[in-house]
Structure 1
Amino acid sequence: MRFALSPEQTDFGASVRKLLEAGRTPAAVRSWAAGDTGPGLALVRGLADAGVLGLAITEEHGGLGAEPVDLLVAFQEIGRAAAPGPLVETAAAIPALLQALPDSTVAGDILPGLAEGALGTIAFGEPLALDADTAGTVLVADGPRLSRATVGEAVRSLDPARRLFRVEPGEVLTEGEEVRTAIAAGFDHGALAAAALLLGAGKALLHATTEYAKQRKQFGAPIGSFQAVKQQLADVLIALDLAEPLVLRAALTTAEPTRGRDVSAALLTSADAAYLASRVALQVHGAIGYTAEYDLSLWITRVRALRSAWGTADFHRSRIADSLRGTE
């Protein structure tokens, strides 16, 4: 099994990175948090035009029908940029869920719009949906039932740019035990995309911290020359390097019986690595790292929110343990 990206995938990732850099993503994130979604929606349009939002959608429904690894390449770059919006839900979770349904009617109604740049969001069990006021499609997946949602009041998030809303089930789109299986597929694909986001965010934090350590001086020398700082940065690099193969493996086994275990392992390790990167970033930057005006805060709050947005650590550890014991 190969855990390295092809030259084409590497080039694709570089093109997504350039697109997001050109869109002045930090400014768009701050605008999104303040309720001005215009700059963020312009980024979404650029991602849609580049085919990112249609990667996981089959050609039958207006997408590209790409491999899961291709989608994760894009989401690493989205995480590196901390781009706003329900992109995991739009490009990963909802397509996987709808395409796993035995009846393609619902998929045919929703997916072509998502591939073209319309936003979608979904609540899995918990009655909270990301950016439900901005998304054209808002779904609730609960047990064996998939419904359209009625959107309620806003709920405060750790990350101001992750705007959560209470939702309640409305019109039932489909239900049954096969729907339960499709919902599980949608959740796992969303969690895997979140793992890629965390990996990208961790890499962005490591890069920003390394550059800062090269420039910031104490006692007449860059703080990056101090052994204690070097060791902390090395620990972050090792953690990220260990997480990346698990994310790629999970992308390669989405159709296998071990999907749940592999997704949980990928999310856990990526979350731990990104959280370590955020802690080291704060320690190295010092007081400036805590200020909302400094761009570092955008990635730190994103990592804190994403750590539990797709299941707690206990939930994912339990899935891994159950799989290893053969009780899953």
Structure 2
Amino acid sequence: MRFTLDSSHQDFASSIDALLSKADMPAVIRSWNTGDTGPGLKVWQRLAETGVNGLLVSEEHDGLGADAVDLAVAVEQLGRHAVPGPVAETVAVAPALLAQVSSDRLSALASGLLATVAAGPHVPFAVDADSADLVLLVDGATLSLGQAGAVQNSVDQSRRLFPLTAGETLGDVDFAPAFDLGALATAAQLQGLGQTLLDVTTDYAKQRKQFGKPIGQFQAIKHHLAEVAVGLEMSRPLLHGAALAVRDGSADSSRDVSAAKVACGDAAYRAARAALQVHGAIGYTQEHDLSLWLTKVRALITAWGTPAFHRGRVVDSLVEAS
């Protein structure tokens, strides 16, 4: 497969990166962690104005009518800046579900409404149901409005998890395509998180000195960071390939999404381990910005399907094809 992002993708990614770079995201995330979602919601509103929230919403309902490749490009940037809130749920999953049952809420999604989703067994909790404008529960083939129960804490303080009970029924849905979009968006977040961890750690290794020279000149540090860079470069084509498969309706799209989720998760986890090793224990303290990225990686690795589940889907697909 030959695939390269075109200039429109690159420009879109650059515009999102520029917007988020001006937002002091560590401060926004810390406010969200304490329950002050105001700064984060302002960021989300600015993202909506660039079209991020309405990427998968049809033009008929005030969205961009874009595809899974645009989704992966945009959400990777949200991951790079560790944007708090229900990212995959708002940008990818809710539009796919609502398009099957309802039209009146799609325009609201495109204009900045935040949505969250729970669907057992792989998505048992709804992220940030206390901050979302729309809370959805999928039970089998039934889509309902969800009512949040008691909050459950995550290793990532910006992710508050809520069990849901069913409220008003909205209709019947096919959840499988929406699940794949959620897993794809989570993989893109992990790819972006891993890239930031590599960039931050590389910069730190150039500045931190031991024995009179920057630690980045030591071969052991170089090897660690090189392995991280290789892992991220190898996972990105799988992410883009999965996005193409979803866009084109490939029969292997679920397998490709699972492969991307595993690869991006592994690459991000490797980046997190290297970042912590190079920075030392200070990197994991709440006072250091690095911790905001480290904990989000740890949380998202199991979000929208665990690595074991996704590896199982890849193996099952290959066995069936053999």
Shorter-chain-normalised TM-score: which range? over 0.9
Structure 1 stretches of 4+ moved >4 Å: none
Contact 1:88–1:194 (CA under 8 A) maintained in structure 2: yes
Once the two structures are superposed, residues 214-252 of structure 1 have per-residue CA deviations (whole angstroms, 9 ceiling, x without a partner) of 000000110000000000000000000000000000100
Question: How far apart, CA to CA, are the structure 2 residues paired with 1:281 and 1:3?
Answer: 30
Out of 209, 217, 226, the residue aligned to residue 209 of structure 2 is 217
- How many residue pairs get matched? 318
How far apart, CA to CA, are the structure 2 residues paired with 1:278 and 1:93? 27
Task: State the shift of 1:11 in Å.
Answer: 1.4
Q: Give the Cα separation in 1 of the matches to 2:226 and 2:272.
A: 14
What does residue 67 of structure 2 align with?
A: 67
Q: TM-score, normalised by structure 2?
A: 0.96
C-alpha separation between the residues in 1 aligned to 2:15 and 2:35?
A: 28
Could you give the per-residue CA deviations for residues 230-289 of structure 1, whole angstroms, max 9, x where no partner exists? Answer: 000000000000000000001001111111100000000000000000000000001211
- Per the TM alignment, residue 96 of structure 1 is displaced from its structure 2 partner at its CA by 1.9
The one-letter code of the counterpart of 1:213 is A
In the alignment, which of 152, 161, 166 is matched to residue 164 of structure 1? 161
> Is the contact made by 1:61 and 1:107 (CA closer than 8 Å) also made in structure 2?
no
Residue type of the alignment partner of 1:149: G
Preserved contact between residue 78 and residue 189 of structure 2 (Cα < 8 Å): yes
Distance 1:10 1:241 in 2: 17
Q: Which runs of 5+ in 2 are unaligned?
A: none
Counterpart position of 1:326: 320
Offset of residue 327 of structure 1: 7.6
Q: For residues 107-126 of structure 1, what are the structure 2 equivalents within 5 Å?
A: 107-125=102-120, 126=123
CA shift at 1:209, angstroms?
0.2
Q: CA–CA distance in 2 between the matches of 1:151 and 1:88?
A: 19
Q: Percent identity?
A: 54
RMSD: 1.3
Query: Which of these residues, 290, 301, 312, is aligned with residue 307 of structure 1?
Result: 301
Contact 1:188 1:263 in 2 (8 A): yes
> Does structure 1 residue 200 correspond to structure 2 residue 200?
no
Range 67-76 or range 292-301, more displaced: 67-76
Map 1:92-103 → 2, pairs under 5 A = 92-99=92-99, 101=100
Equivalent residue for 2:285, pick from 264, 285, 291: 291
The amino acid that maps onto 2:125 is L
Q: TM-score, normalised by structure 1?
A: 0.95
- Residue 234 (structure 2) pairs with residue 242 (structure 1): yes
1:147 aligns with 2:144: yes
Deviation per CA, 1:50-74: give whole Å up to 9, x if none.
1111111111222011121111111
Corresponding residue for 2:49?
A: 49
Name 2:274's counterpart in structure 1. 280
CA distance in 1, matches of 2:155, 2:201: 22
Mapped to 1, the partners of 2:147 and 2:66 lie a distance apart of: 32
Distance in 1 of aligned mates of 2:272 and 2:227: 12
Q: Shift of residue 161 of structure 1?
A: 0.3
